[in-house]
Structure 1
Amino acid sequence: MYDTLKKVLPILLAAFIAGCGASGDSEEAASSEQQARPTTVAGHVEQATFTSLDGDTVSVADFKGKVVMIDLWETWCKPCLASFPTLQKLQNEYEDEFVVLAVTPGFTDTKKDARAFAKEHDYNFTYLMDSNGLHKKIGVQGIPFKLYVDAEGNFIKKSMGSYGPDEDYKKVKAIIEKHKNASGEKSQI
């Protein structure tokens, strides 16, 4: 068996290397629209658009000048809901510098579910539906899942889960402090 593997392995390796380096007609025929599509988590997040509960299109770029947290959540997710008071507190403290986009990926929740939740609770988040499948594009497997974008619209980081209200507060506050008014700081340099 070892001798067979010794003979076959170099052939497989050569075929793999040749396949990776090959450029076929299909690559050359790719349209400019396909080439403009984001292929990284950062690209997907920075260009993300969602649908508001009223049916309007909302883009991450609409919030340029603020640190944006895209919080993927659903009404049944206890850790998601446990973080909402902390996020509201931070959004109140950084009213002009931070915004929470509470985005429902639609695992089980519908627009009706999200609307009922928003109506019953006093959080002033921007409630949205992940109508363009951002969670699928970046491979989200569970919630709570948070994505951060700086004040200039650049992806910062992603995180999954919760560390409890106090630790979440500290971590999110540090992100806001580090990335708020990024454009203003750069223009002074």
Structure 2
Amino acid sequence: MKRISLFLIVLLPVFLYGCGGESNSQSENQAQNQEDETEESIVQNAVFTDLDGNEVSIDAYEGKLILIDFWETWCGPCLQVFPAMQDLREEYPEKFDVLAVTVGMNEGPEEARVFAERNDYDFEFLYDENKVFQRLGGRGIPFKVFVDPDGNLVSIEMGSYGREEDYKKTKDLIAQYFEID
């Protein structure tokens, strides 16, 4: 019994260090890469997947104010604001777009597809396969990211102020970049 205990005390740490050394280096490299990655660069290089499996890049929407709205179908505050964002899409179709990005907390693209088919929203429904939400520090939804017409990060917001306030706030942002009525 003493030999086994001695073996575990002396050799187990050496064995664990040898097996874990590479993982620690990999973890350090990943942490360094994440530190090097700014919110601005994450947003500018964001790539999502549409519900048909195609990649969709933020730069495809250049020239418009973009709302990247991270959501899921069970999120009441997310769904409460969708009609207001649809109103803005209809009022300013050449100036404003909504990317409704399913985060993947409890759902995948299939739930988003069913929701999109049952509702008449003019949004681009996407899935966050590349963990943009997590890389931006997202912990809960609604989580909104606004991107200006040149592809630059405007703001990152957690939560919602309700349908009317989110409408006003977003319309004010549109007015900052475009002449509107």
TM-score by length of 1: 0.75
The match for 2:56 is 58
Paired with 1:124 and 1:110, the residues of 2 have a C-alpha distance of 20
* Among 79, 85, 88, the residue aligned to 2:86: 88
Aligned residue for 1:129? Answer: 127
**1:136-181: per-residue Cα shift (whole Å, max 9, x none)?**
1111011001001100111100111111111111101111111348
Q: Select the residue among 137, 140, 156 that pairs with 2:138.
A: 140
Note if 1:43 corresponds to 2:41.
yes
Name 1:167's counterpart in structure 2.
Answer: 165
Report the number of matched residues: 149
Q: Matched residue of 2:157: which SS? A: strand
Separation in structure 1 between the aligned mates of residue 58 and residue 134 of structure 2, nearest angstrom: 17
* C-alpha distance in 2 between matches for 1:115 and 1:137: 24
d(CA) in 1 for partners of 2:178 and 2:62? 10
Aligned to 1:111: 109
Residue 38 of structure 1, CA deviation: 6.0
Q: Quick one: distance in 2 between partners of 1:179 and 1:153?
A: 12
Provide the rounded CA distance (Å) in 2 between the counterparts of 1:38 and 1:158.
19
Report the counterpart of residue 66 of structure 2 in structure 1: 68
Q: Which runs of 4+ in 1 moved over 6 A?
A: none
Amino acid at match of 2:161: Y
Q: Is the 8 A contact 1:66 1:180 kept in 2?
A: no
Alpha-carbon spacing, 1:49–1:124, altered in 2? closer, same or farther (3 Å): same
1:101 correspondence with 2:99: yes
Partner of 2:100, secondary structure, is: strand
The amino acid of 1:131's aligned partner reads E
Corresponding residue for 2:13?
none
Q: Does the CA-based 8 Å contact 1:149-1:155 persist in structure 2?
A: yes
% same residue: 46
The runs of 5 or more residues in structure 1 that have no matched partner are: 1-25, 182-189
Structure 2's unaligned 5+ residue stretches are 1-24
